Amino acid sequence: MEFIFYAALLWAWLERLVAGIPRFLIFATAAYVILYFATLALVAGVHRHWWRVTWFRRLFYWQFPVALLGAVFRVLSRYYDVPWLWAIGTSLFSALTLYLGAFFIAALLLTPVVVGFSLYDRLRQGGAEEPSSFERRRFLSRGLAVVPALGAMGVSHGIYTSYTRTRMPTVPLRYPDLPAELEGLKILHLSDIHIGPYIQLSDLEALLVRAAQAAPDLIVVTGDVCDHNPEYLATLRLLESVPAQFGTYASLGNHEYMRGIRRIRRHFDQTAIPLLVNEGLAVPVGAATLYLGGVDDPRFLRSPASYAQLRNSVERAVSSSPSDAFTVLLSHRSQALDYAAPLGGTDLILAGHTHGFQLGMAGRSFFEPFFPERYI
């Protein structure tokens, strides 16, 4: 009976643990596991000369349990208020996933080269493999190892630059019929701040000090503010501390839902920052009117229902806009443009979410040539 009692307690604890795991973390962990074994099959099956290197094989083996340990730390941090659990877990899992992804892409790109040379040698020699061809292929495989090494260096550079000085580009916008009161209006647009292991509150504070020097008239935040719930309210406090004549306003992103939307709403309720969700408000600027509409986020934009939700949210956000107002639409998803444009009346859309499709160089995404119709 005692065994059954403890087994029931363990089962109840596991049920509570699993119920509290965010879906995005389950998805990310599953994606990592699939990526790991796909890379393992690719390396062991095609790039065998790499696999025969002892240190490489050991490093590859150890990455798996260490990354999963990071995921476990992330889960435990939701139940125990221990800052290092969340910080270490997120850093381990994110960094190892990035390195594994870079290596997989490099190995995948090199596979046709290695297989092509192997087939060429076999065809040229009538199916018999001479020692010279084996040595040549081994030299080629080892020589091409520089490519995944460059990928790892690229990931390291990306992580490093996340800690360096953030650029704040100024984008001038010109409108032929802009009311005189809105001429020279400065809008500070912040999105996808993601306060967490890579971006600290101190980093945001330093950025806002620089931003305040530009004397913004209006501040807008389009979602994904903070990835660490205990610091969410402190992040909002920092944002509202920046002086702006016409205030600070925000819309939701998908990470707000991932972190628990009810808790996030309570944080906003404790600040002076209006959270605009499927609604808007008019801000008088002298004799002119500036209308700010906030779009809700569909969490996952994949199914027809999620696109319909986004369209409905856009329509509701701008439905109360006065005809003579300058209308600014705040949307975490840039796809809101597809639904706002046919409605007319929206003068400016500010969005985020894509992070430039994550991979790029010199401020441009590698994916731009492949997705010319996408907002990246």
Q: What is the pLDDT of residues 306-321, one digit of tens each?
A: 899 999 999 999 999 9
- Residue 331, SS3? coil
The predicted pLDDT at position 222 comes to 95
Q: What is the pLDDT of residues 56-84, one digit of tens each?
A: 788 888 888 898 888 888 778 767 767 67
Secondary-structure class of domain 180-365 per CATH:
alpha beta
**Count of beta carbons in the 10 Å neighbourhood of residue 330:** 27
Amino acid at 113: V
* C-alpha closest to that of 95 among 38, 32, 149: 32
Residue spans per domain, the chain: 2-161, 180-365
The predicted pLDDT at position 72 comes to 85
Answer whether residue 129 shows pLDDT above 70: no
Answer whether residue 243 shows pLDDT above 60: yes
Say how far apart CA 35 and CA 108 lie, in whole Å. 12
Q: Region 89-117: what's the mean pLDDT? A: 80
* C-alpha closest to that of 86 among 68, 66, 65, 71: 71
| pLDDT band, very low/low/confident/very high, at 17 (cuts 50, 70, 90) | low
95-99, 233-237, 296-300 — which is least confidently predicted?
Answer: 95-99
Say how far apart CA 376 and CA 51 lie, in whole Å. 37
Q: Residue 40 in contact with residue 60, Cβ under 8 Å?
A: yes
The predicted pLDDT at position 169 comes to 86
Quote the tokens at residue 172.
Answer: 């001038």
Say how far apart CA 71 and CA 247 lie, in whole Å. 39
Answer whether residue 197 shows pLDDT above 80: no
The predicted pLDDT at position 168 comes to 85
